[in-house]
Structure formats: C-alpha cells, structure tokens
Amino acid sequence: MVCNTINHYLRDRSKTEDVAQELFAELWVKRNQLIIHTSVPAYLRRMAVTRTLNYIRDSRKYNWDDLESPETGVTQATVEPDVLNNMEEAELSRKIDLAILQLPEKCRVVFLMSRMEEMSYAEIASNLGISAKTVENQIGKALKLLRQYVIGVGGNKQ
C-alpha cells in the first residue's frame, strides 16, 4: 500500500522503493515516540504522501534564475518552445506541490486523500474518524488556500 501510494506520484519503481525504504527506516528510528491517532494504514498513507511530496520538492531540477545566466549563455530566447513549456509545467507543478505542503496538516491530508488517492468523502471520513461534512469543509478550505498560494487570489500571492 505504501509503495502504491508513493508510485502514484513518482511513476518510477526504483525511486518509489527508495522513498518507501526511507519512510520505514524513519518509522523504525521513531518507533518508541510514535502516537498514532488514526488507523495504521491511514497513518502510513499520510506519511507516504508527505514523504513523497518532500522528495518531489527537494529533487526539482529547474531554477528560473538559471535560464538567463550569463555564465551558461542560456536565455529564454534560446530554449526550444517544448522545453520551455515543460519547464513552465514543472514550475506550476512545483508551486502546487509547495502550496499543498503549506496547507494545515488536517486540511492537507484530507485534500490529498480526495484528489491524489481519489477517495470519496465517505471513505476519507471513515479513515480519519471525522464526518463527511468536515471532509467537505476541509476540501473547500484547501481549494481556497491553494488558489491563494498558487495564483494569488485574495492578495496572498506567492
């Protein structure tokens, strides 16, 4: 289940196994300090998603400042349109990933279970021990905050 969750994001079995191994190594090191308030599968799923998003964030290759570097001689004008489009998509994806990481923890968990794991509100509510209405409210809150973080609606542009 952990590897499937991670692979949903990474789509690379080798990287998936590396992230899963790090996750279980961290679990083992912190085993005496863990306090799990949800079911163990829900806890592991949340930990897998968080660890994977951190991995994605930390492994981003593109930096817009590097595009117009005098040392490399590369400017936006010399980059092929397909490459530029891919980089723009990667930048938007990075912004979204970072925005998701900035969500309050409960809001982030509910959002990821809904959008990334494609769970229904009822399934999320059951897994987390909350009402479906709370799930609905958390999704609404997450979407509002993500809009603010990513596109700056509401004056909180990032």
CATH node for 75-158: 1.10.10.10
pLDDT in tens, 76-127: 444 445 555 666 777 777 788 888 888 998 898 899 888 877 889 999 999 8
8 A C-beta contact, residue 92 and residue 3: no
pTM for the model stands at 0.46
Residue ranges matching CATH 1.10.10.10 in the chain: 75-158
8 A C-beta contact, residue 56 and residue 49: no
